[in-house]
Structure 1
Amino acid sequence: MFIPRNIESSILNLISKFPIISLTGPRQSGKTTLLKNMFPNYQYVSLDYIDNREFAINDPRGFLEKYDKYVIIDEAQRVPQIFNYLQGKVDNDQIMGQYILSGSQNFLLLQSITQSLAGRVAILRLLPFDFSELNAQQLLENNYLTHCFKGFYPSIYDRKIDSPFFYDSYIESYVERDIRTIINVKDLSLFRLFLKLCAGRAGQLLNLNAVANECGISSNTARSWLSILETSYIVFVLPPYFQNINKRLIKAPKLYFWDTGLLSFLLDIKHSDQLESHYLRGNIFENLVIAEMFKTNYHRLQQRNFYFYRDSNQNEIDLMIQNAAKFDLVEIKSSKTINTEFFKGIQYFEKHMPNLIQNKYLIFGGDDSYKRQEVNVLGWKSSSKILE
C-alpha cells in the first residue's frame, strides 16, 4: 500500500527548476517507494548493488552514458567520485530534472553535493510519516500513546510489522551498516549504550559531558557520535532562544528523536500501556509534537526556525516558531485535562516580552480545540495546523 506524501508537491515544483533533485532522509522512510511511484518513467539504479557500484567507480563516464537522463540514482553517496562527473554532465546537457539522487547517509551525501554540485541541486528531506499523511488514510489512532509506541516508519503501516521487531532490526542494521561506514566504532555495545542514554534524555537539556561520563567515553567521542546520530536522522536538537543571537550558539540545546517508536524501543517500553504511567511520558509526548512540527516543516518546505525558551528561574516555553520578527509560542502538555498551571510559561513570556508574540498555543493530549485565556488550545492531532 502506497501512502501519498506531503513532500510530493515540493518535488514536482523543484524538478523543473534544477537539473538534480536530492532526496535524503533516514533509512526506511520511504524514499525509494516515493520516487518510483512519482516517476515511473525514470530509469532506476541503486549503488547499493555491488555490480552497479563497481561500474560507477571503474567507468564513471560509461555509467553516465548508460544512465544519461531521467534517472533515479539510489544510495548515491556510495560512490562520491561520481558527483564530479555529474557536475560536468548536467552543465553540458542543461536538462532540468535530469537526475534524482537518493540516499540515507546524509553526512556523506551532503558532503559530496557541497563539494561538487552546489547551485545545481535542490535538497529535500523525507522523514517518517507525519500526522496529516496518516490521517488522510484514516491511519491516525485516537490515542497518542499508540503512536508514541508504534512510531511512524512506513514499513510498520505498509507491511504491518510489529514495532518492537521492526526497531530491533532497524538498530541492528543501522549500527552495523551506517555507523561503521561513517566512523570506526570499535565497541558497538558502547555505542548502543550511548544511544540508550540519549533516549533517556529526550525532551531535556543536552549535557553531553554528563552523557560521555556515564558512557565511559571522551567528550570529543560523544560529540562525534551525536553528530552522526543527527546526520543519520536518528536525533535532532532544538536550540534555545536568546535575544542576543550569539548566546543561541553556546547554550545547551534540547535533544529529541525523529521517531517516538524508536525512542520508546530504546527506553525498553514493551507495550503502549506502559506509557500511561511511565516517568518520561511527558517528555515522550513533547518529543511526539515537536518531531511532528519538524517533519511538517521539512515535508512542506516551509523553512521555519524553531527554538525553546528557558531562563535562569526555570520559566519556559516548549516551542517558539519564528514568524519574521515575532513568534508563535507553544506549550505542550501530555495531560488530557487542561490545568491553569499549563498557561504559566506563556503568561510570564507575555508579561516580559509582549512585543515578540504573534500567536499563543497550548497542545495537549486530548482531542478538543478551543480558546482559553486568549490561548488557542489544540488537541494533539491538530498540532501541525499551527504551521498552516
Structure 2
Amino acid sequence: MSCIETVTESLTGRAAILRLLPMSRREAFGRVGAPLAWEAEEGTGIQRTIAPTDLGREFLRDGYPELVTHPERDIQLWHAGFTQTYLERDVRSLRQVGGLTQFQSFLRALAARSGQLLNLSTLARDLGVAVNTAKAWLSVLEATHRIFIVRPYFANIGKRLVKTPKIYFGDPGTLCYLTGLRDPDHAAAGPMAGCLMETAVLGEIIKTLTSRGLSPQVHFWRTAAGVEVDFLVEAGTKFIPIEVKKSATPRPAMATSLRAFQRDLGDRVGPAYLVHSGEGKLPLGSGVTAVGFSEL
C-alpha cells in the first residue's frame, strides 16, 4: 500500500492490484489448485492430514512464508519482529495512527475479541479513545489485511453494511502472539481454541478464493432467537453454510443450526459442512457433512 501512495499517476486500466495474504494450507503443501470441500465430491486432493495433537502447533506458526519454509524458526521471536515492523513501518506510512503504543493496545484488545460481535463503542471506551479514532484504526487493520470483517447475512444488501460485524484476524499465528498464547496444547484445547479454529477455517477459504483472483463473499447468519451459523460462503447462486467446532468427534446434534438455515433458505442453500478438529468425512444427515479441518 505504501508503494501505491508514492505513484504519481493513477494507472487506471493499466495496473492490477494483488492481495498478498499469508499462505493457505494448499499453498504450503504445494496443492494450490486443490478444490474446496464443496467443489469436488471426490475430496480436496490435498492428501495431507493433521492430527488433533498437532493442530495447536499449526495455530502458533501458521501461514507466513518465512515460518512455513523455515519451521525451525523461533515462532515468538518472528511474530514479535513482524508486529514491531508492521507498527513502525506500515502503520506510520498510512498516517492515520498517532501514538503507536496506544494503537498496539488496540491491536491486542481487538485480538482478545476476535470471532465475537464487535462493539466498537465499548472497545473505544475501555481503551480511553474516541470512537472515530477506533474506526480509523480498524480501517488501517482491514486495509493492511491484518483482519477480516465478516458481516451478517441479510437478503437486503444495505442491511449487511450497517449491522454489527464480527472481526477475525487474518492469521492464527498472529492472533496467538497478540493474545499471549505460547503452548500448543493450550492453543488447541484452551479457551481460545474455538476462535482459533474459526480463524483458521475462514482464512483457508478466503486465501484459497483470493489466490484465484476472486473476491470472496463470506457472511455469518444469526436469528433473533440466537441460532447462528459461523460462515456462509457465496458460491454462484448458492450459499455454503459452515459451522466450526473444536471437537474432534462430530455429532448430529452439532448440526442443528445448519439444518435451521437449510429450512429458512430452502433451495438457495448448497451442501452444508461441519468442520471439526479431527480427521475424516462423516454424513450428519441430509445435506450435511462433517469434515476434518485438513479436508476442508
Quickly name the TM-score band, shorter chain normalised. 0.7 to 0.9
Q: 1:184 to 1:306 in 2, by over 3 A?
A: closer
Q: Which residue, 266, 284, 309 being the options, matches 2:221?
A: 309
How many angstroms does 1:144 deviate by? 2.1
* Structure number with higher relative contact order (C-alpha < 8 Å, ≥ 6 residues apart): 2
How many angstroms does 1:139 deviate by? 8.3
Unaligned runs of 5+ in 2: 32-46
- TM-score for the superposition, normalised by structure 1: 0.68
The corresponding residue for 1:187 is: 99
Q: How does 1:256-295 map to 2 (within 5 A)?
A: 256-295=168-207
Query: 2: distance between equivalents of 1:123 and 1:178?
Result: 17
Contact 2:217 2:234 in 1 (8 A): yes
- SS of the equivalent of 2:17 reads strand
Higher Rg of the two aligned structures = 1
How many angstroms does 1:168 deviate by? 0.5
Contact 2:280 2:292 in 1 (8 A): yes
Query: 2: distance between equivalents of 1:348 and 1:314?
Result: 11
- SS of the equivalent of 1:122 reads coil
Query: 1: distance between equivalents of 2:182 and 2:215?
Result: 36
Query: 1: distance between equivalents of 2:49 and 2:253?
Result: 29
Query: 2: distance between equivalents of 1:163 and 1:175?
Result: 18
The corresponding residue for 1:205 is: 117
Structure 1 vs Structure 2 CA RMSD = 1.9
Q: 1:302 to 1:277 in 2, by over 3 A?
A: same
- TM-score for the superposition, normalised by structure 2: 0.88
The corresponding residue for 1:380 is: 293
The number of residue pairs the alignment matches comes to 277
Q: How does 1:152-301 map to 2 (within 5 A)?
A: 152-159=63-70, 160-183=72-95, 185-301=97-213
The corresponding residue for 1:132 is: 26
How many angstroms does 1:185 deviate by? 3.2
Q: Which residue, 62, 68, 72 being the options, matches 1:151?
A: 62
Query: 2: distance between equivalents of 1:260 and 1:163?
Result: 12
How many angstroms does 1:275 deviate by? 1.5
Contact 1:332 1:363 in 2 (8 A): yes
Query: 2: distance between equivalents of 1:134 and 1:157?
Result: 7
The corresponding residue for 2:248 is: 336
State the one-letter code of the partner of 2:293: W
State the one-letter code of the partner of 1:221: T
The corresponding residue for 1:351 is: 263
Unaligned runs of 5+ in 1: 1-23, 25-74, 85-115, 384-388
How many angstroms does 1:141 deviate by? 4.7
Q: 1:243 to 1:173 in 2, by over 3 A?
A: same
Query: 1: distance between equivalents of 2:284 and 2:97?
Result: 51
How many angstroms does 1:345 deviate by? 0.4
- The Cα offsets for residues 55-96 of structure 1, whole Å up to 9 and x where unpaired, read as xxxxxxxxxxxxxxxxxxxx6336222xx2xxxxxxxxxxxx
